[in-house]
Structure 1
Amino acid sequence: MNSYYDSSNLNRIPELMKLAPQAAASFLNFEKDIYHTSEAIPLKTKELIAIAVAHVTGCPYCIDVHVKKCKALGGTREEIFEAVLVAASTRAGAILSHATHALFAFEDQAVSSPNETPPSPPQCFC
Structure 2
Amino acid sequence: MSHYQSPSDFQYIPSLLNLAPQETKAFIDFDHAIKRKDGNIPEKTREFIALAVALTTQCAYCIEVHTKAAKHAGAQKEELAELISIAAAVRAGATMGHGLLALRLFSETDNLITKE
* In structure 1, C-alpha distance between the alignment counterparts of 2:31 and 2:110, rounded to whole Å: 50
Report matched runs for 1:1-126 at 5 Å.
3-36=3-36, 39-110=39-110
Matched pairs, number: 112
Q: Letter of the 2:43 partner, please give it.
A: L
Give the root-mean-square deviation of aligned CA atoms: 2.1
Whether the aligned pair in 2 keeps the contact of 1:47 and 1:70 (CA below 8 Å) is yes
TM-score (norm 2): 0.81
* In structure 2, C-alpha distance between the alignment counterparts of 1:59 and 1:110, rounded to whole Å: 38
Once the two structures are TM-superposed, the CA of residue 14 in structure 1 deviates from its matched residue by: 2.0
Identity of paired residues, percent?
41
Distance 1:109-1:25 versus aligned 2 partners, 3 A rule: closer
TM-score (norm 1): 0.76
Q: Which moved more, 1:19-28 or 1:61-70?
A: 19-28
More helix by share: 2
SS at match of 2:36: helix
Once the two structures are TM-superposed, the CA of residue 91 in structure 1 deviates from its matched residue by: 1.6
Whether the aligned pair in 1 keeps the contact of 2:7 and 2:61 (CA below 8 Å) is yes
Unmatched runs of 5 consecutive residues or more in structure 1? 112-117, 119-126
Residues 7-60 of structure 1, C-alpha deviation per residue, up to 9 Å, x if partnerless? 211222222122111112211221122111651101111111111111111111
Q: Letter of the 2:98 partner, please give it.
A: H
Extract structure 1 runs of 4+ deviating beyond 6 A.
Answer: none
* In structure 2, C-alpha distance between the alignment counterparts of 1:14 and 1:82, rounded to whole Å: 37
* In structure 2, C-alpha distance between the alignment counterparts of 1:101 and 1:74, rounded to whole Å: 40
Q: Letter of the 1:66 partner, please give it.
A: H
Distance 1:52-1:6 versus aligned 2 partners, 3 A rule: same
